[in-house]
Structure 1
């Protein structure tokens, strides 16, 4: 799966600057994506 998330006001490489608000948003988006796609499916 792929999810496109855009940060139109962000500078290039913004993810490397934790003091920027968009950096924190990106990290949260990545964590959510991983959680959503790494859940094990139980077979009944």
Structure 2
């Protein structure tokens, strides 16, 4: 599987980067706050 997209977590709180080799990043790359703001960690 080859991809480079963001996948939403199961609980909907964060977005993880799907690496080109098909594995997910360890930590969320960003979260979308209730007001629509995007925060990075």
Pairwise TM-score range, normalised by the shorter structure: under 0.3
The structure with higher relative contact order (CA 8 Å, sep 6+) is 2
User: When the two structures are superposed, what TM-score results if normalisation uses the length of structure 1?
Assistant: 0.20
**Of Structure 1 and Structure 2, which has the larger fraction of its residues in helix?**
1
Structure with greater proportional strand content: 2
Higher Rg: 1
Tell me the TM-score normalized by structure 2. 0.20
